[in-house]
Copies of this chain bind each other. A is one copy, B any other.
Amino acid sequence: MLHFAMFQPLPGFRDFFPERCAKRNHIFRLWTQTARSFNFQQYDIPTLEPLELFTQKSGEEIVGQLFNFTDKGGREVALRPELTPSLARMIGSQANSLKRPVKWFNIAENFRYEKQQKGRLRSHYQLNCDVFGEPGVGADAEVIATAVGCLQVFGLSGADFVVRLSDRNLWLHFLESQGKTGDDAMAVLGVVDKMERLPREAVIEKLEPLFGNKAESFLQQAQSLIAIRSLDELKQFFEGLELATELKQTVDERLGQWSSLLDWLEGLGVTDVLRIDLGIVRGLAYYTGFVFEVFEKGDDGQLTGRALCGGGRYDHLVKKLGYPDMPAVGFGMGDVTLTDLLESKGLLPDFIIAPEIYLVVGGDHERKIALHDAQRLRALGYSVEYPLKNQSFGKQFKLAGQSGARFALIYGEEEVKQHQVKVRDLQTGQEMPIMSVYLVDALGQFFAEGIPAHEPEGADPSKL
């Protein structure tokens, strides 16, 4: 049994055969391209970190979900479940010398020991984009637009996903108006976070310890807040509350920031995929302002409940780790649900993994000439293949065809004697002999235009 287990990746881990690896790399490539277009700079962090780095941020509860152990030097260590604490360490340690805002991205493997289910593996890859050092809504907008860009670049659109934009601050202001602050307010947010997935009675049951016989009316109010889809409605909602002067002023300021954020997002052209939706509060305790999640839409236009991306503002983390104050906002986007979505929409191409050129070689003498050319062509960036042992011409032509190469170069006894190479277009069968010294030029032309079916009048193709 152990023997069999040895021959499988561990549960929740993946082997990437070339076809699958090419698809994964396609996702990495387009993520990288998009993050760079927003001028994010790439960084990377260790796979293994001190356990305390994670418990300091997320509490001891997280240990249950970690691959953690004691190393041979007696250190408590863990495979990173996320990048943010390590990132905060890097940023924090250079907080005084980094030019603000700092815009950094990374694509890395994260690990969680958790129950396996569709879209949840124990190892997955995540794109992280974060902006540090800018407290204003411009940074929130930048991060949201980057997340949207990282989906649109694959051909996904508002028909496929929606960005649900929420605000922990407005929630806290609303809860303050209901007399809930501090731990009580956090407890309510914990219920709000689960509301979508729980039956109404269960929600009431959770609210009763906090609101007593007002649980029902609080729930109604919360649901009307969650149902809001425009800034005007949001303003009306808060106008309808009886707010103390100071709180009213705070709320007005916040609504002003909402207005400004929406202006930025309109400029960035992402309002058509955006939905104001206070139903999002984000589970993690460290978010401090605007938060958002990107959800998949089903064919019926309704949300499927599968999140593609989540993020928001976390202004206190760097300081909490003991470094200078450094406001921050960022998002993470995983490869697993995105791959599933792209596959289902036919947006993840099959990659043709093939050399560009296949050499068909007569014998040992011809091989020396052929290998020399192979190295010349490789230095120019061509991918060149040939049989690694002696084979008949017939077998080699079969291999050349199977390889997927565009051209075969034929090094027969005759060709080599005349310092020529015969180039065959493996799609059309068209052939042309080329003097060896002109091979590079000729191939450049053939890749662009194919081998001409007829030679120009009076031309001697062997001298081309």
Which residues from chain A sit less than 8 Å from chain B, CB to CB? 2-3, 5-7, 9-11, 13-18, 21-22, 24-25, 33-34, 36-39, 41-50, 52-53, 56, 64, 67, 69-73, 75, 77, 79, 86, 89-90, 92-94, 99, 101, 104, 109, 111, 113, 123, 131, 134, 136, 138-139, 141-142, 145, 149, 263-264, 266-269, 321-322, 353, 355, 364, 367-372, 374-375, 378-379, 381-385, 387-389, 402-403
Known: A13-B49, A267-B372. 14 other contacts (CB 8 A): A2-B50, A3-B322, A7-B92, A13-B47, A13-B48, A16-B44, A17-B43, A17-B94, A21-B43, A22-B42, A38-B383, A41-B353, A69-B69, A138-B389
- Nearest-neighbor residue (CB-CB) of A103 within chain B: B385
A10 and B48 in contact (CB under 8 A), knowing A18-B104, A138-B389, A368-B267? yes
Inside 8 A of A353's CB, which chain B residues have their CB?
A: 41
Inside 8 A of A145's CB, which chain B residues have their CB?
A: 375
B46, A123: Cβ atoms closer than 8 Å: yes
Closest 9 CB pairs of A and B: A267-B371, A138-B388, A69-B69, A37-B378, A13-B46, A16-B44, A18-B41, A39-B355, A267-B368
Inside 8 A of A64's CB, which chain B residues have their CB?
A: 72
Inside 8 A of A24's CB, which chain B residues have their CB?
A: 44
Q: Of A13, A139, A388, which is in contact with the most chain B CB atoms at under 10 Å from its CB?
A: A388
- Nearest-neighbor residue (CB-CB) of A388 within chain B: B138
A123 and B384 in contact (CB under 8 A), knowing A10-B75, A375-B269? no
A72 and B37 in contact (CB under 8 A), knowing A269-B372, A321-B7, A374-B268? no
B134, A388: Cβ atoms closer than 8 Å: yes
**Nearest CB on B from A397, distance (A):** 16
Could you name 14 residue pairs across A and B whose Cβ atoms are closer than 8 Å? A3-B322, A7-B89, A10-B48, A11-B73, A18-B41, A37-B381, A39-B355, A39-B385, A48-B79, A48-B111, A69-B70, A79-B79, A136-B389, A267-B367
**Nearest CB on B from A46, distance (A):** 4
A42, B67: Cβ atoms closer than 8 Å: no
Contact of A388 among B22, B52, B142 (CB under 8 A): B142
B383, A37: Cβ atoms closer than 8 Å: yes
How far apart sit A131 and B15, CA to CA, in the bound complex (Å)?
Answer: 18
A67, B50: Cβ atoms closer than 8 Å: no
